[in-house]
């Protein structure tokens, strides 16, 4: 039975800060960077007002923020932080250490383009740049999902089958600063759902001392990497279990992705983040004109649900794979590479076209979506040659 909903109007940053107050982690080290600055600002205000008992650690950089997070988590404290763009890039070394040391830190990533040229608006180049650091990555479409995803992150990260850090991602400004109506949960329900953190091993356990981050000789390195990968694979079932349990509590269930009008769809757009809402609106309008269009909104990027995606799109005629990030490989964006590889490995042979959109905050409209679906139809009908790695809204 779902808990009583509290109706509120909040930005994405406000919603995540509110969820942080409800979960009440032990430690939050953070350094300000646009557009995530409001999160540590709001949390520090909650702490100053006596509304939560969390140690806030102001540090001199994002590298230091993740270093402090690693130290506190290794000592046995539930820890989180927040950052964006170049802040995540500065954490690069520490991201790998957090994951390889199997520390269930939660990081809110407010997605912003990476330089250069310098730009403070949204794309996914920061999160995608860290896609191979060993972190679970969950993307939100809107403020509600940003709130819900954050609450689910701790039970996922801290599960004994996983013990990996989690990035809770939302689009900068579009989600982080725009205000919308959302449903909040009561404090007690959130605390019960997140539970208390009782690590099996931690550095300050004098009775059972452990070493964190030791030097691994060649005899052990591969086994450690394989164990980390196995944990990432197991994370998939944990994410589904936590999403189902959250649905029973809140009335909002979550999976690896959301299927929107895909059951009979001839043409499907696979997309992540806030632009999924734009795609859904366009699909509704296309359906009214008789076009069988659908949207597959990818929520969980790591672990990558390859088989599940292949199964979800296998009956359509053509698939648009939408990347809000350039991979600079001369062929496609990150999703373009991984989705097509997954389709091939699972023997799903459909037209699959990769598009690049929204870099540096470039507008992505319902008309853009409709144009993509028109091109998919022309490709499937043989009237348009399949052209990969296409940019949407580019000024030629």
Domain end, chosen from 250, 273, 289, is at 250
199 and 272, same domain (yes or no): no
Domain end, chosen from 250, 271, 300, is at 250
Residue 370 contacts by C-beta under 8 Å, 6 or more apart in sequence?
A: 282, 285, 286
**How far apart are alpha carbons 246 and 243 in whole angstroms?**
5
In a domain, 20, yes or no: yes
In a domain, 299, yes or no: yes
In a domain, 396, yes or no: no
87 and 181, same domain (yes or no): yes
298 and 341, same domain (yes or no): yes
In a domain, 68, yes or no: yes
CB–CB of 323/355 below 8 Å?
A: yes
In terms of Cβ atoms closer than 10 Å to its own Cβ (0-12, 13-18, 19+), residue 253 is middle
The residue segments making up the domain with residue 385 are: 257-391
Query: How many domains is the chain built from?
Result: 2
Q: What is the pLDDT along the chain (396 residues), one digit of tens a residue?
A: 567 799 999 999 999 999 999 999 999 999 999 999 999 999 999 999 999 999 999 999 999 999 999 999 999 999 999 999 999 999 999 999 999 999 999 999 999 999 989 999 999 999 999 999 999 999 999 999 999 999 999 999 999 999 999 999 999 999 999 999 999 999 999 999 999 999 988 988 888 988 888 899 999 999 999 999 999 999 999 999 999 999 999 999 999 999 999 999 999 999 999 999 999 999 999 999 999 999 999 999 999 999 999 999 999 999 999 999 999 999 999 999 999 999 999 999 999 999 999 999 999 999 999 999 999 999 999 998 888 999 999 998
Q: Are strands 27-30 and 166-171 parallel, antiparallel or unpaired?
A: unpaired
């Amino acid at each position: 039975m779902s808990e009583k909903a509290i109706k509120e109007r909040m930005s994405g940053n406000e919603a995540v800060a509110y969820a942080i107050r409800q979960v009440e982690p032990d430690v939050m080290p953070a350094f300000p960077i646009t557009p995530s600055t409001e999160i540590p600002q709001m949390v520090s205000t909650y702490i100053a007002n006596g509304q939560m008992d969390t140690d806030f650690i102001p540090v001199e950089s994002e590298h230091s923020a993740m270093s402090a997070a690693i130290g506190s988590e290794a000592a046995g404290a539930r820890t989180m932080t927040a950052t964006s763009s170049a802040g995540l890039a500065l954490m690069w070394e520490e991201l790998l250490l957090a994951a390889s040391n199997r520390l269930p830190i939660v990081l809110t990533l407010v997605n912003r383009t990476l330089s250069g040229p310098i730009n403070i608006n949204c794309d996914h180049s920061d999160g995608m740049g860290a896609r191979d650091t060993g972190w679970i990555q969950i993307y939100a479409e809107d403020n509600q999902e940003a709130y819900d995803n954050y609450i689910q992150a701790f039970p996922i990260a801290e599960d004994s089958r996983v013990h990996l850090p989690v990035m809770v991602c939302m689009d900068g400004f579009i989600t982080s600063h725009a205000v919308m109506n959302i449903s909040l949960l009561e404090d007690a329900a959130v605390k019960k759902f997140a539970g208390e953190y009782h690590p099996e091993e931690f550095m300050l356990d004098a009775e059972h001392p452990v070493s964190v981050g030791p030097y691994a000789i060649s005899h052990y390195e591969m086994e450690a990497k394989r164990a980390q990968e196995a944990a990432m694979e197991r994370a998939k079932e944990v994410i589904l279990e936590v999403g189902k349990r959250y649905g029973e509590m809140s009335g909002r269930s979550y999976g690896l992705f959301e299927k929107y009008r895909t059951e009979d769809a001839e043409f499907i757009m696979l997309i992540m983040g806030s632009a999924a809402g734009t795609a859904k609106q366009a699909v509704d309008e296309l359906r009214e004109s008789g076009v069988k269009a659908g949207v597959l909104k990818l929520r969980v990027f790591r672990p990558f649900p390859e088989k599940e995606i292949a199964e979800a799109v296998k009956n359509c005629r053509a698939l648009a794979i939408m990347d809000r990030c350039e991979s600079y490989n001369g062929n496609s964006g990150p999703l373009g590479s991984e989705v097509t590889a997954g389709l091939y490995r699972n023997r799903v042979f459909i037209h699959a076209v990769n598009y690049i959109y929204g870099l540096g905050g470039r507008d992505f409209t319902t008309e853009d979506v409709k144009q993509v679906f028109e091109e998919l139809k022309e490709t499937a009908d043989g009237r348009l040659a399949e052209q990969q790695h296409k940019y949407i809204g580019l000024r030629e």
